[in-house]
Structures are given as C-alpha cells and as structure tokens.
Amino acid sequence: MLDKNLKSFPKDFLWGASTSAYQVEGANLSYGKGPSCQDVKELPEGTASLDICADHYHRYEEDIALMAEMGFKTYRFSIAWTRLLPEGTDKINQEGIDHYNKVIDTCLKYHIEPLVTMFHFDMPDALDQRGSWSNRESVDWFVNFAKVMFENFGDRVKYWLTINEQNMLTLVGPLIGTLRIPEGTTNILKETYQQNHHMLLAQAKAMVMLHEMYPESKIGPAPNISLVYPASCKPEDQLAAQEYNAIRNWFYLDMAVYGVYNNLVWRYLEEHDATPDILEGDMDIMKAAHPDFIGFNYYSTATVQASASTDDVNPGADQQTARGEAGYYKGYDNPNLVKTEFGWEIDPLGFRATMREMYSRYRLPMIVTENGLGAYDTLTEDGKVHDDYRIAYLKAHIEQLKLAVSDGVEMMGYCPWSAIDLVSTHEGIRKRYGFIYVDTTDEKTGTLNRYRKDSFYWYKKVIETNGEDLD
C-alpha cells in the first residue's frame, strides 16, 4: 500500500500504559491480603521476591502523578484477587477495598480513566488448594470476585478487562507457574482445556453481569495475540500457520466474541482425546456474552513450518518463544527479524498485520493492553536513563498503529508495558520495561526512588501531539 492518505488518531484516543498487581505492588502479604499462586510458587533463581517489587502499593500517588505528567489518558492496572478476598471467597478485606478506591480516585483526580484487569495471573492459593480452574466451582468463585469489584468500583471504572492472556495460561501456564495441574493427571492437554473452558464460562458470566449492573460500562478480553506466519510458500507451511493461529490466537477470541469453539482447535483436541466436558447450558452462557471491545497484548509475531508426527519439538516455552506441536507445526526463527536482548523477535509490521487480521475477523474496537521492550537499563550517576532503544521500538510500533488506523481498524487506545519498572513474569526486575526507572535490583532492594527515563519525555510528547510527533 502507498499509505498516502493517513488518518490521525481519534481525538479521544486512550494513551496510557500498563502494570499488574503482583508484579508492581509489593506488600504481597500485608494489609489483610492473602497469598496468591504467585506468592507461594518457587521463583526462578536470581529474581527478586514479590514482597516489595516497585512498592507501588505505598507509592501509587507518586506514580500516578508521574503518569499524569506524561499526559496519560488511561492507566491499565489489575486488582489483586486476594487483596479483596484473602481466601478467594467469602470474607472481604476492607483494607483492600479502601486501597483500590484510593487508586481509582487518584486516577480520576488527574483525569486518567482506570482500565482495570480483573484477573492477571494471580489465582488465590486457597482456591488453588481447592482445585483452581480445574474445579467447576471456579466459575462461581470468579463471578463472585467480579461482583465484589463491580459493586465497589463500578460507579467509577468504565473500562474492564476480564482475564489477562488466557491463551498463555492455557498454552504455557504450568511452565510460568500460573496454572495448576492436579496430581495424577494422565491427559494434561484435556485438563488444561477443561480449565480453559471454565475460564471462558467465568468470563462470559462476568460480561453479562457488568452489562446488567452498569449498562454504560465496557468490558472485553485481553489475550496475547501474535499473528503466525508460514516459514515459506509451501502449502504445508501455510496449513501449519493456520493451525497455530487457531490454537494460539483465534480459539480464545472466537469464543469470547461469538461463543463458539474454533473448528480447527476442536479437531486438534479430538485427535488428542482432549475435548473439554461441556454441560448443558454452557454454550448458551457463552453466546449470551458480548464484549464491547478487544484488549490485546502484542510483542511479536510467530513463524512456523510444517511438522511431522515424529518430530521432537518443544510444546512449551514462554509467551513469545518458538513452540511446536508434533504433526501440526514447529517454531521457526524468522531470518528477517532481529531479536531483543531477551530473545524476543521485533516485528512492528507484524503489529499492523495482527491488528488488520483481528479487525477483519471480529469487527470490534480494540485497545493495545501491552506492547514493549524488555531491556537492561542503566541508571547514570546524574540520575538519567538513556533508553533510545526503547524509544526506537515504541516509535516503530506506534507508526504501524497509525497505519492500522488509516487502514480502517477501529483502535481505542495504546497501553504499552509498562508504566514503571516492575518484576517480569519469570525474568525478574533486571528485564525492565517502564518509562520510569525504579531504583532496585533482583539482588537487593534499593532506594526505590523513581527516575524519568528518556522514553518518559518522548512519550509525553507523543501524547501531547496525539501521536503526530514521534521524533
């Protein structure tokens, strides 16, 4: 395409950034909060514990003031389930309610719209002990949690996200310590997709409940979407890419938007005797749910080639590492893309391609809920962080975002990961993403002082000009 007639970002475009509770708050077992799966899991060697993180719990006012200085229109954050319900159900922790009321009110004071993630990788440990998402009662647990949130915050929170990266919980959850597989499970694939089914039911019921309680509020899913390329023009590689696109991406959105199981994934599950048990009325519940928008996390594309049934492939990795499924597809390093210091491919054009494909399939407004560059940042003696590499990464992606808008894709906003430095899922705080540097390391807690990175000032200019000035 020539891209001669470019459109501007909408005047009400929601510029902001994202965090999650367990990665940024700290105070993980304080002020009445109960333990989540994140608090009891064995952390990777050499990574920071979660008892302090960026200490956002105590410093949210300072942090949100810095976000306001950048000009944020929205702040995406999650609510820790066990800060509201320490045991996952029943008794409410009023201190937790009070805390998030203050966070929300602080956002609104600065005219920042709260964009709240309901579940971000932090199942209550007490519910894990009762079977977690394996237990069909988990649907009711989540709906109860949602009701507590809506009742206490729904008068001021207008935008909600249901489950962060549900597809990653299903595909790599056991590896990143966020999905519990019961002991003695013989068919792990069936177990994970049964848990996924319960998550889908919980999500659908939460959507319906919000619309009943607050008809003007908006809610949507938040999967991690990476368009999958075929490694070559071989027809068998094209089929492999279709398989992985269905398994990785469309399965979750087909269900969230249309309330139907993707046909390719269903056949894949049938081949492995792994179809979930679906009770009477389940599909009606999911078809009754209608998301108002789609939130999605994007970091890179994926590339696959055909795989023989005898291939030795890696079925599990992290969110963006090449995967494989014998007989279906196997990961392929795209020679046309460079990688970050942490091995994730960088593909801004793939960002545009992903948005195009999503919009053509679902025709719903979309908001980017994560996109960013994890890197080893260095704080200079004079308190500066020169992260030109992050600026270059974000600039390239925002350029493609604008082109997607010009393509007619309905985009609501852009919330890169992350607002401030925080503890990455399995790579510690050394893998920094934020616009704001937090003085702490994986080895020891520092001053926790905040420092504006070069990207802070750059992003402020981007927001001030509504994405027109990216230099």
Residue 447: CB atoms within 10 Å: 8
Exposed, middle or buried: residue 135 (CB in 10 Å: 0-12, 13-18, 19+)?
middle
73 in Cβ contact with 414 (< 8 Å): no
Residue 155: CB atoms within 10 Å: 12
Cβ neighbours of residue 170 under 8 Å, at least 6 residues apart?
179, 192, 193, 195, 196, 252
Nearest CA among 32, 59, 156, 31 for reference residue 104: 156
As a whole number of angstroms, the distance between CA 187 and CA 181 comes to 10
Place of tokens 């389930």: 81
As a whole number of angstroms, the distance between CA 370 and CA 272 comes to 33
As a whole number of angstroms, the distance between CA 325 and CA 125 comes to 31
Q: Which of 25, 113, 165, 243 is catalytic?
A: 165
Place of tokens 């954050």: 77
As a whole number of angstroms, the distance between CA 196 and CA 266 comes to 13
As a whole number of angstroms, the distance between CA 18 and CA 145 comes to 21
Q: Which amino acid is at 19?
A: T
Known catalytic residue: 165? yes
Cβ neighbours of residue 346 under 8 Å, at least 6 residues apart?
300, 337, 338, 339, 340, 373, 393, 396
- Residue 357 has which token pair? 């494909």
As a whole number of angstroms, the distance between CA 372 and CA 392 comes to 11
Residue 378: CB atoms within 10 Å: 11
Cβ neighbours of residue 381 under 8 Å, at least 6 residues apart?
none
Q: Which of 25, 191, 345, 370 is catalytic?
A: 370
| CA 262, 238, 322, 185 torsion-angle sign | positive
Catalytic residue numbers, as ranges: 165, 370
